[in-house]
């Protein structure tokens, strides 16, 4: 049977191509065996070979085993972009543990929930001051038994403020933690069906849920991308230099860049953070060939005043993901550089893969592309998720494939709500055209995607309620030229209370929520919409805002 869009697949690529599955430690071991002394990661101009990376992972794995963090354990990683992440990621997995990614961008509310929910009692962090200070708070609150601290100066950093590590038996440096760790006679047996990662994502109730991603899910995701791009990779026949500036705790960076690049023997050019000139240097001077970014990064590059004079000739692939890519940004980028910038679609729950654009095929601005090999997608009625909608009709997108999560950690009801048989309800509203290309038109969930990161309105609302002047608040996403979407708070004031500025609100929220969750605007209203049973209605507020935006704009007060 021909699947929708398969006629536009790259030559030789079939929808039903075999998708490989295995374990992540085996993925790295095969890469080390295949590529040996070839550089795997370059960080601050220093290379780490595949064999060196494997050796560091083995030492970390032996230390995790010695400390009792093996099968059944959850190991939390609270790290930025440095080699410490892959070393501890693969190390804990090889010991048989599962990983819990914690975002340095999150506030204490979200981080506390993830630690409690996952059961992680050990956390790996860095002595970079902001990370370390937050990690110590969780130790002091009794949420952790042990804190393992990677010393950033090991990598020759200049400029990061570093924290002094106090004398505390519960705090140990990574160097001491791994000291004299002996390789076991045999490593623990790991099944492809074991949970490798609890990757937290959101929902309509505010608190993040841990998507259970197995070794099989993640290795299948890598295989899906490899099958899809096999023809282009064979034609190029070169070792790619892949820019990794996306945060490693994000599923897009983990699967698309770290795992896939290692598996294919390419070089990861690892950046701690996004800096547009550092990225341009990687392209122009170091001749990077592949740069996967999120729309905010492409907006920054497209806005460079001299972009049309910059040398991007080495860049073979410019990809965007994590959030919808504005069509206008892609147009500007192509006009200035001659390069085509297209975006695919995926989710945390799919380990990233979902759709992609073929190198040759119809030009469809605004589309998220075709379903990738091994993945089945359709569109179902919003009222009946078992009823498939005809071509061109809007509904909720469903997906199934070997990369799709089996459900949420300790959340049976939430899991049951998102599955129809073995098909996962994405919460994204869209349609498929007659060529098999998918389009997104809205989201069923209340989640905001700002700059590629998930933002949960209810968590922001909870924090705003700590302001003494606030009577009620609803937070919704509003269009933002840079982030794609940003949070805006609509507030009713207590009797006699005075309005406050957005700057005053942000000062109050500092530390309570993450920087990426900070509202971009606040508007004071006399009343907020409610449902028939008296609950505040975020859905109705969004409808009101859409209606207002479609009318001639009038000057209003209270917005910054």
In tens, the pLDDT along 8-28 reads: 999 999 999 999 999 999 999
Helix (H) or strand (E) holding 134: helix 129-140
Following CA atoms 54, 56, 57, 58 in sequence, which dihedral angle do they give, to the nearest 10 degrees?
Answer: 90
* More confident call, 204 vs 424: 424
Q: Give the number of other CB atoms < 10 A from CB of residue 120.
A: 27
Class of domain 448-549: alpha beta
pLDDT in tens, 136-182: 999 999 999 999 999 986 444 456 788 999 999 999 999 999 999 99
Nearest C-alpha neighbor of 407 from the set 423, 427, 428: 423
Same fold, 6-19+214-443 and 24-190: yes
Q: What is the mean pLDDT of residues 468-485?
A: 89
384, 398, 424 from 414: Cα distances, Å: 18, 16, 12
pLDDT at 291 over 70: yes
Q: Give the number of other CB atoms < 10 A from CB of residue 302.
A: 21
Question: What percentage of residues in the chain have a pLDDT greater than 90?
Answer: 72
Query: What's the DSSP call for residue 536?
Result: B
pLDDT at 261 over 60: yes
Residue 537 Ramachandran class (φ > 0 left, ψ -120 to 50 alpha, else beta): beta
Q: What is the mean pLDDT of the chain?
A: 91
Q: Give 145's Cβ-side CA count (13 Å radius).
A: 10
Residue with structure tokens 């070792």?
239
Strand 195-201 with 98-101, pairing: parallel
In angstroms, the CA 311 to CA 190 distance is: 46
pLDDT in tens, 188-240: 999 999 999 999 986 444 588 999 999 999 999 999 999 999 999 999 999 99
In angstroms, the CA 154 to CA 169 distance is: 22
Q: What is the mean pLDDT of residues 296-307?
A: 88
How high is the pLDDT of residue 158? 52
Confidence of residue 554 (pLDDT cuts 50, 70, 90): very low
382 within 8 A of 444, measured Cβ to Cβ? yes
**Token pair of 385, please?**
């998720």
The residues spanned by each domain of the chain are: 6-19+214-443, 24-190, 448-549
Strand, helix or coil at 311? coil
* More confident call, 50 vs 106: 50
Helix, strand, coil proportions of the chain in percent (round to 5)? 30, 25, 45
127 within 8 A of 149, measured Cβ to Cβ? yes
169 within 8 A of 145, measured Cβ to Cβ? no
In angstroms, the CA 443 to CA 485 distance is: 12
In angstroms, the CA 265 to CA 414 distance is: 39
11, 455, 477, 483 from 449: Cα distances, Å: 34, 6, 8, 8
Confidence of residue 303 (pLDDT cuts 50, 70, 90): confident
Helix (H) or strand (E) holding 62: helix 50-66
Fold of the CATH domain 24-190: Rossmann fold (3.40.50)
pLDDT in tens, 536-553: 788 789 889 888 877 654
pLDDT at 534 over 70: no
Q: Give the number of other CB atoms < 10 A from CB of residue 365.
A: 9
Q: Give 537's Cβ-side CA count (13 Å radius).
A: 14
475 within 8 A of 460, measured Cβ to Cβ? yes
Side-by-side strand order, sheet with 74-77: 171-173, 146-150, 122-126, 74-77, 98-101, 195-201, 209-214
243 within 8 A of 282, measured Cβ to Cβ? yes
Superfamily classification of domain 6-19+214-443: ANL, N-terminal domain (3.40.50.12780)
In angstroms, the CA 85 to CA 79 distance is: 6
């Amino acid at each position: 049977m021909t699947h929708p869009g398969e006629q536009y697949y790259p030559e030789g690529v079939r929808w039903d191509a075999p998708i490989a599955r295995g374990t992540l430690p085996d993925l790295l071991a095969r890469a080390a065996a295949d590529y040996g002394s070839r550089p795997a990661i370059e960080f601050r101009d220093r290379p780490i070979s595949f064999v060196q990376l494997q050796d560091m992972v083995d030492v970390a794995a032996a230390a995790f085993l010695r400390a009792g963090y093996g099968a059944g354990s959850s190991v939390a990683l609270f790290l930025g972009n440095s080699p410490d992440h892959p070393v501890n990621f693969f190390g804990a997995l090889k010991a048989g543990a599962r990983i819990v990614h914690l975002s340095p961008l999150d506030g204490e509310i979200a981080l506390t929930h993830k630690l409690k929910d996952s059961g992680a009692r050990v956390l790996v962090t860095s002595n970079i001051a902001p990370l370390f200070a937050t990690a110590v708070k969780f130790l002091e609150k009794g949420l952790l038994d042990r804190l393992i601290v990677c010393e950033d100066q090991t990598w020759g950093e200049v400029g990061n403020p570093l924290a002094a590590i106090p004398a505390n038996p519960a705090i140990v440096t990574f160097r001491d933690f791994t000291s004299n760790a002996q390789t076991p006679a045999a490593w623990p047996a790991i099944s492809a069906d074991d949970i490798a990662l609890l990757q937290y994502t959101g929902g309509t109730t505010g608190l993040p849920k841990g998507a259970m991603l197995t070794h099989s899910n993640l290795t299948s995701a890598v295989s899906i991308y490899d099958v899809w791009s096999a023809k282009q990779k064979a034609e190029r026949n070169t070792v790619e230099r892949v820019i990794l500036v996306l945060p490693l705790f994000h599923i897009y960076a983990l699967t698309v860049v770290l795992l896939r690049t290692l598996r294919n023997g390419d070089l990861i050019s690892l950046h701690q953070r996004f800096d547009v000139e550092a990225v341009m240097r990687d392209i122009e001077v170091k001749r990077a060939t592949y740069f996967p970014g999120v729309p905010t990064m492409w907006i920054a590059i497209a806005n460079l005043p001299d972009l049309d004079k910059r040398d991007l000739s080495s860049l073979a692939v410019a990809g965007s993901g994590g959030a919808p890519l504005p069509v206008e940004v892609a147009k500007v980028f192509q006009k200035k550089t001659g390069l085509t910038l297209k975006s695919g679609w995926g989710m945390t729950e799919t380990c990233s893969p979902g759709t992609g654009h073929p190198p040759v095929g119809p030009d469809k601005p605004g589309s998220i592309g075709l379903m990738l090999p091994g993945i089945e997608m359709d569109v179902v009625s919003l009222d009946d998720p078992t009823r498939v909608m005809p071509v061109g009709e809007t509904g909720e997108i469903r997906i199934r494939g070997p990369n799709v999560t089996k459900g949420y950690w300790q959340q049976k009801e939430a899991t049951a709500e998102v599955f129809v048989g073995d098909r996962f309800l994405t919460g994204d509203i869209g349609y498929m055209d007659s060529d098999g290309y998918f389009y997104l038109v809205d989201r069923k969930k209340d989640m905001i995607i700002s700059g590629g990161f998930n933002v949960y309105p209810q968590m922001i609302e909870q924090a705003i309620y700590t302001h003494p002047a606030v009577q009620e608040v609803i937070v919704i996403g509003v269009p933002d030229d840079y982030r794609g979407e940003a949070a805006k708070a609509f507030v009713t004031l207590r009797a006699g209370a005075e309005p406050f500025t957005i700057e005053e609100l942000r000062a109050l929220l500092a530390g309570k929520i993450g920087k990426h969750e900070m509202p971009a605007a606040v508007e004071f209203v006399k009343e907020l919409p409610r449902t028939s049973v008296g609950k505040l209605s975020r859905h109705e507020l969004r409808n009101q805002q859409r209606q207002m935006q479609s009318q001639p704009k009038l000057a209003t007060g209270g917005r910054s």
